């Protein structure tokens, strides 16, 4: 009878905990505590059973040779892609990007697989060596990293040269020069990311413009061939040469007038390569307007990219480092 009373009290306690969890006025509870009694009535250690869903798994994908993390934002309930720069970003930079994108993120931290917090000054390249966890507010995401074994993460010879140069700069160059190089690398990376989609559209527009300009050239050749054949037919089969000679003279005279008109309108001599380039540019800008391709913005970005690459080339050459810009221009 005593044991039945203890069991009834135990069931009553579990039912009361379940009702308190189901009541709308009570706060959300992440675990249910079940207390077991021993045969003599002494309580055993409590066991906690989590009621929260398991943490979602997210895998890092490579796009355009760069790791990209698709992370669901808590405020907007949508996926947002964050492009990671392994050699240029730290944990602080990564978390700042997340909080800047979603102001509703109040707590953000990077944890290892054991749940220990990763230092804020740790490079993202070190974090991506193995799987880790990302804490966003009250949700922990398990991030699966491809690690060093991924073929897209493999370092090429040029990357090795860049790493060696960065080590040399860190050991030998002044601090402001190293900071300037880091800023230029970030600017270079930003420009390349912005130019990536535009380069694809430009290549497509260029192919269409090249095809149309070649079509015009073949049409001109066909017209001249038909004209010669028609004049030959009139000369040998319909009229005599005495009749066709003035006709060919006026045709030649009209062609000369056409050349002069081309020069007056374009201020250029009629040369076939220049005429082809002019037709190509005409079709290119016409097609770019149809594809909503901003050629002015593209040219500005290309000029900025050339400037940044020139500055980086000057910083990476220790012999030309202290020379003025006019003295390091290539000699023609």
Separation of alpha carbons 254 and 94, rounded Å: 70
Same domain, 26 and 138: no
Do residue 18 and residue 65 come from a single domain?
Answer: no
Rounded CA-CA distance 181/170 in Å is 10
Distance of alpha carbon 213 from alpha carbon 283, whole angstroms: 7
Question: 163 lies in a domain?
Answer: no
pLDDT, tens only, 276-316: 888 888 888 888 888 888 888 999 999 999 999 988 888 77
128 in the same domain as 103 = yes
DSSP line for 85-148: -TTT-BHHHHHHHHHHH-TT---EEEE-TTSPBPPTT-BHHHHTTS-EEEEETTEEEEEEP--T
pLDDT of residue 5: 44
Mark the ranges of the chain whose per-residue pLDDT is less than 70. Answer: 1-55, 64-65, 147-162, 165-166, 168-176, 317-332
Residue 271, φ and ψ in degrees, nearest 5: -115, 140
**Angstrom distance (rounded) from CA 231 to CA 254:** 15
Residue 76 sits at φ, ψ, to 5 deg, of -100, -10
- Check whether residue 199 and residue 297 sit in a common domain: yes
Is 169 among the domain residues?
Answer: no
Half-sphere exposure of 133 (CA within 13 A, CB side): 15
Same domain, 188 and 222: yes
Is the CA virtual torsion 237, 241, 242, 248 positive or negative? positive
Assigned token pair, 204 = 């497509």
State whether 120 and 209 are in the same domain. Answer: no
Per the DSSP assignment, residues forming a β-bridge with 71 are 80
* Residue 289 included in any domain: yes
Is residue 91, in this structure, part of any structural domain at all? yes
pTM for the model stands at: 0.40
At 7 the pLDDT is 40
**Using CB atoms within 10 A of its CB, is residue 233 exposed (0-12), middle (13-18) or buried (19+)?**
exposed
241-253: string of b/e by CB count within 10 Å (b at 16+)?
eeebeeeeeeeee
Is residue 154 included in any domain, yes or no? Answer: no
Are residue 29 and residue 135 in the same domain, yes or no?
Answer: no
C-alpha span between 332 and 325 (Å, rounded): 16
Q: What are phi and psi of 141, to 5 degrees?
A: -105, 135
Residues 46 and 139 in one domain: no
Residues 322 and 207 occupy one common structural domain:
yes
- Pairing of β 132-136 and β 108-111: antiparallel
**Ordered strands of the 139-144 beta sheet:** 57-59, 139-144, 132-136, 108-111
Q: Is the separation of the CB atoms in 156 and 127 below 8 Å? A: no
In a domain, 244, yes or no: yes
- Examine residue 173 and state whether it is found in any structural domain, yes or no: no
SS3 48: strand
Q: Residue 169 has which token pair?
A: 């700069």
Q: What is the DSSP pairing of strand 139-144 with strand 57-59?
A: parallel
Q: Look at residue 303 in the predicted model and tell me its pLDDT.
A: 92
Show the domain range for 71. Answer: 57-144
Q: Are 216 and 263 contained in the same domain?
A: yes
Residues 296 and 237 reside in one and the same domain: yes
Domain total of the chain = 3
pLDDT, one tens digit per residue, over 106-127 is 888 899 888 888 888 888 888 8
Token duo for residue 86: 């392994």
In whole angstroms, give the CA distance from residue 18 to residue 29.
10
The pLDDT value given to residue 20: 42
């Amino acid at each position: 009878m005593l044991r039945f009373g203890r069991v009834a009290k135990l069931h009553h306690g579990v039912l009361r905990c379940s009702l308190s969890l189901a009541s709308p006025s009570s706060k959300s509870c992440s675990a249910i505590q079940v207390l077991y009694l021993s045969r003599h009535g002494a309580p055993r250690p409590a066991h906690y059973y989590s009621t929260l869903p398991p943490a979602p798994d997210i895998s890092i994908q490579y796009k355009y040779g760069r790791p990209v993390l698709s992370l669901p934002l808590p405020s907007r309930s949508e996926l947002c892609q964050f492009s990671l720069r392994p050699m240029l970003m730290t944990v602080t930079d990564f978390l700042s990007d997340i909080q800047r994108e979603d102001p509703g993120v109040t707590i953000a931290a990077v944890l290892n697989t054991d749940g220990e917090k990763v230092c804020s000054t740790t490079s993202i390249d070190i974090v991506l060596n193995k799987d880790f966890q990302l804490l966003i507010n009250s949700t922990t995401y398990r991030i699966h990293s491809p690690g060093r074994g991924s073929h897209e993460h493999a370092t090429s010879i040029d990357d090795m040269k860049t790493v060696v140069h960065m080590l040399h700069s860190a050991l030998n160059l002044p601090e402001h020069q190293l900071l300037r190089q880091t800023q230029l690398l970030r600017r270079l990376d930003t420009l390349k990311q912005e130019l990536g989609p535009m380069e694809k559209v430009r290549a497509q527009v260029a192919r269409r413009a090249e095809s149309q300009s070649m079509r015009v050239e073949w049409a001109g050749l066909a017209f001249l061939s038909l004209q010669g054949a028609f004049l030959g037919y009139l000369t040998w089969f319909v009229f005599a040469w005495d009749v066709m000679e003035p006709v060919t003279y006026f045709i030649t005279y009209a062609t000369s007038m056409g050349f002069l008109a081309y020069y007056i309108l374009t201020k250029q001599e009629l040369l076939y390569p220049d005429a082809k380039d002019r037709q190509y540019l005409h079709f290119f800008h016409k097609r770019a307007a149809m594809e909503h391709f901003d050629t002015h913005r593209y040219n500005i970005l290309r000029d900025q990219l050339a400037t940044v690459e020139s500055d980086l080339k000057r910083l990476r050459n220790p012999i030309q480092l202290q020379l003025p810009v006019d003295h390091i221009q290539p000699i023609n």
